């Protein structure tokens, strides 16, 4: 698994996951919307920690700086 996410991409995904968590905890989202957004938040956090986004592979996208 080759890393394909840069630091800005990882930061944005982490912030989105935190915002979704705050919305859920504060009761702003519930029901099906909460479940769907929760799944997205988990996917964002997982991909951020791994620095790998499987959706980038078919399009050969990389936001990581080349060394």
Domain boundaries, the chain: 7-56
Token readout for 37 is 């957004």
Residue 67: the pLDDT is 63
Q: Is this prediction's pTM over 0.75?
A: yes
Q: Report residue 34 CA to chain centroid gap.
A: 16
* DSSP three-state, residue 18: helix
Residue 33: the pLDDT is 95
In the chain, % of residues over pLDDT 90? 79
């Amino acid at each position: 698994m080759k890393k394909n996410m840069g630091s800005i991409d990882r930061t944005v995904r982490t912030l989105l996951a935190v915002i979704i968590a705050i919305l859920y905890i504060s009761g702003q989202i519930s029901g099906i919307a909460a479940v769907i957004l929760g799944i997205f938040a988990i996917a964002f956090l997982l991909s951020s920690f791994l620095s790998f986004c499987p959706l980038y592979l078919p399009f050969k996208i990389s936001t990581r700086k080349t060394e």
